[in-house]
């Protein structure tokens, strides 16, 4: 199934676009079974996400490394994921950390984001992408811009524009994010 999906995506995206998959517990709850499934992949993705608050994250990540698959470390706020990730001896080998702010309150999400970045540590040696969801998506995007971090936005994260209106598609979310990021960039120079 993973091989079919990866092959189908690669057939339609431009060459050089990295294709990733999830190893999240919502797909297969048992961590040993997840690791075995990764061992059975016949077509390898370029990277796979591993959520560090989930049981068995370390074992799944080791199998990915053994197979030559890059790792995107998912570290969620409000969990022990940052601590577990930082304690993993191979943390320096991941492609990036996807810091996911689960706080959806627009009034507190930016502070939660900053706390998560601090918990990951200033000595982090891999790329860090910070993003939020729902009501916290736009405040977290602004926090990421202010911290000079990578970020993302899309229909997976939020279904409204910063002004509360509904977008006419994903492109409108990206355009709004671009404006916010450009404003922050101008302020820094």
| Per-residue confidence (pLDDT) for residue 188, from 0 to 100 | 54
Contact (Cβ atoms closer than 8 angstroms) between residue 178 and residue 151? no
**Closest among 113, 99, 173, 104 to 143, alpha carbons compared:** 113
pLDDT digits (tens, 9 = 90+) for 123-178: 999 999 999 999 999 999 999 999 999 999 998 899 999 999 999 999 999 999 99
Q: How far is residue 154's CA from residue 114's CA, in Å, rounded to a whole number?
A: 21
pLDDT digits (tens, 9 = 90+) for 115-126: 999 999 989 999
- In the predicted structure, residue 189 carries a pLDDT above the cut 50: no
Contact (Cβ atoms closer than 8 angstroms) between residue 74 and residue 25? no
- Domains assigned to the chain: 20-188 (3.20.20.70)
């Amino acid at each position: 199934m993973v091989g079919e999906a990866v092959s189908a995506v690669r057939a339609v995206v431009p060459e050089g676009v990295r294709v990733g998959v999830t190893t999240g517990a919502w797909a297969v709850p048992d961590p040993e079974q997840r690791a075995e499934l990764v061992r059975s992949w016949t077509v390898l993705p370029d990277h796979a996400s591993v959520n560090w608050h989930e049981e068995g994250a370390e074992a799944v990540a080791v199998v990915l490394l053994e197979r030559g698959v890059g790792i995107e470390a998912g570290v969620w706020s409000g969990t022990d994921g940052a601590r577990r990730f930082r304690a993993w001896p191979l943390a320096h080998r991941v492609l990036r950390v996807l810091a996911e702010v689960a706080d959806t309150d627009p009034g507190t999400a930016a502070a939660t984001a900053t706390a998560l970045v601090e918990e990951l540590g200033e000595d982090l040696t891999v790329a860090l992408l910070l993003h939020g969801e729902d009501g916290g998506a736009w405040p977290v995007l602004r926090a990421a811009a202010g911290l000079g971090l990578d970020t993302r936005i899309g229909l997976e994260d939020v279904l409204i524009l910063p002004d509360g209106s509904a977008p006419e598609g994903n492109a409108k979310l990206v355009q709004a994010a671009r404006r916010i990021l450009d404003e922050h960039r101008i302020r820094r120079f």
